[in-house]
Amino acid sequence: MAPLDVDRPYRLNSSVALRPESFGALAYSYDNRQLAFLKTPRLLEVLRALDGASSASAALSAAGVPAPDRSVYTAALQRLADTDVLEAVPGERWESGLTSMPASGGVSGAVARAGAGAAGDLGGGGDRDGNRPGRLTDRFKSGLAAPICLTWELTYACNLACIHCLSSSGRRDPDELTTAEAMSVVDAMAEMGIFYVNIGGGEPTVRPDFWSLLDHAVDRRVGVKFSTNGVRLDAAAARRLADTDYVDVQISLDGATAETNDAIRGTDAYAMARRAMDELAAADFGPFKISVVVTRHVVPELDALSELAAGYGAQLRLTRLRPSGRGAQTWPQLRLDQDQQRQVYRWLMAHPDVLTGDSFFHLSALGEPLPGLNLCGAGRVVCLIDPVGDVYACPFVLHERFRAGSVRDPGGFPSLWRGAPLFRELRAPGSAGACTSCGLYDACQGGCMAAKFFTGIALDGPDPECVLGHGEAALTAAAAAAIPSPGPGHSRRPVPVSIGRRP
Ligand code: SF4
Ligand code: SF4
């Protein structure tokens, strides 16, 4: 890392977008897909002042940084330069080495960096070096100017019928957003400063206007991370993707072998996904992602999946199984037991480069916290737009209880995000409920709201997979009560579940 020279000019990297927030700002790099948190509004002013300033020092002065604070702000700029948010303005004087100055101070804590993963992806908040966002998470709980992790399901149509599908996809809904409506949604995202959107389905690539929507998003500088089972990802599509900036591809695979994967995703789904990966590799797309839902059958294959990803130069991404959509029916057979939860926790701790979208934060109660914000982001930093334009608090709570409204409502998505009563409710301080006396609450936060809701556990009760085992009693107590049924199904036919029951 080159030391910051306060006497030379710096500028914001052209691949970085800034979005002001109440605590300061978010900075997102389209190059390295990293999110940085600027924890003071003054630091945002410094960054803005860099534009046209003769030096970093001049920008600090222009932004009114008091003398006693300069070392702290200089250290923050150093960290932003280290993470490629800032770059030195090229110039002969500096390239010839006439001036150099060591960076002052250590990491200030004024900036915390987070890996911005896909779908769902909050993707990790804070490094493992102790520079965690800390109280920043409290600011996140009260909501942001725009979601960090916005999932958009483009269609319910799907060629597969995975037995854990969170949106029970299969048939297209005749009321799905038209191309013009979908383009307007993209425009709204751009105006809100949304850095990227996680596109899924159904299988999004079967929508005839998929490529037009993708191009429109990229043109508006809304990055696209889309999930696919690979059905339309042939050589031409792979080349097209490799030639497009701001696009990440995530191939869904639920096992390292055809036997494991196809038991979940259907016959030949493994071969189809591998063909798509081969095409991406042949087109030199770069590090695409392999996205795996962790069922009990996947746990013994984690090492093999990691090797598979490494063989492609791809990134592995693991997601927690939730009892949502068709997963409500199959969760009892597919979910992990306590031994497997501990295995997954240890494995994740030993593989810090594996992305999780923060979805295993309930496992942080087992020891050292997993990287991430470790909070339920529903309606705070996360939300979902479904194929007919309905907006839900998160991709795993497709139920009327968590429907905020529709993008077709007056004011559209921006108005819902800013003011929907549901989102205000979710952003208000809540009580720890049944977890109040648990010493692990800070780490686990009571777990996943969706997992509780669709198993009939009170929202302030313990996670059904609580690592202390409190979920089992809560599940037993909930069995007699009415368990909410998942949202409207779109399955083409009843999905056969042939996979073995838990012993
Ligand atoms: S409800 Fe669960 S899946 Fe949704 S944001 Fe909260 S923790 Fe994540
Ligand atoms: S009792 Fe609640 S806070 Fe404690 S580990 Fe279980 S779910 Fe988490």
pLDDT tens digit string along 355-406?
998 899 999 999 999 988 888 999 999 999 999 999 999 999 999 999 999 9
Q: How confident is the model at residue 479 (pLDDT cuts 50, 70, 90)?
A: confident
Confidence of residue 97 (pLDDT cuts 50, 70, 90): very low
Residue 102 has pLDDT above 60, yes or no: no
| pLDDT (average), residues 236-245 | 96
| Ligand 2 and 468: CB distance under 6 A | yes
Torsion region of 28: left, alpha or beta (phi above 0 gives left; psi -120 to 50 gives alpha): beta
Ligand 2 atom closest to the CA of 444, numbered from 1: 8
Contact yes or no for 385/152 (Cβ under 8 A): yes
What residue type is assigned to position 334 of the chain? L
Alpha-carbon dihedral 156, 160, 163, 169, rounded to 10 degrees: 10
Question: Ligand 1 centre from 424 Cα, in Å?
Answer: 16
Distance 377 CA to ligand 1 centre (A): 6
252 near 273, Cβ under 8 Å? yes
Can you give the three-state secondary structure of 26-55, one letter per residue?
Answer: EEEECCCCEEEEECCHHHHHHHHHHCCCCC
Cβ of residue 474 lying under 6 Å from some atom of ligand 2 = no
In this predicted model, which residue has the larger pLDDT, 498 or 11?
11
**How many CA atoms are closer than 13 Å to the CA of 89, on its beta-carbon side?**
15
Helix ranges, 63-205 (H): 70-82, 92-95, 136-141, 179-192
Give the residue-averaged pLDDT of 271-286: 98
Chain-wide mean pLDDT for the chain?
A: 88
159 three-class SS? coil
The answer to whether 160 touches 265, Cβ cutoff 8 Å, is yes
DSSP assignment letter at 16: E
| Angle value at C-alpha 436, between 435 and 438, nearest 5 degrees | 65
Model confidence at 286: pLDDT above 80: yes
Q: Are residues 151 and 391 in contact, defined by beta-carbon separation less than 8 angstroms?
A: no
Closest CA to 248 of 317, 158, 160: 317
What was the pLDDT predicted at 138?
77
| Three-state DSSP state, 182 | helix
pLDDT digits (tens, 9 = 90+) for 37-76: 898 999 999 999 999 899 999 999 999 999 999 999 999 9
Distance 435 CA to ligand 2 centre (A): 5
Distance 397 CA to ligand 1 centre (A): 8
Testing ligand 2's pocket by substitution, the residue of 375, 470, 475 carrying the most ligand atoms inside 8 A of its CB is: 470
Q: Is the CB of 298 under 6 A from ligand 2?
A: no
Q: Which atom of ligand 1 is nearest to the CA of 322?
A: 3
Q: Is 447 in the pocket of ligand 2 (CB under 6 A)?
A: yes
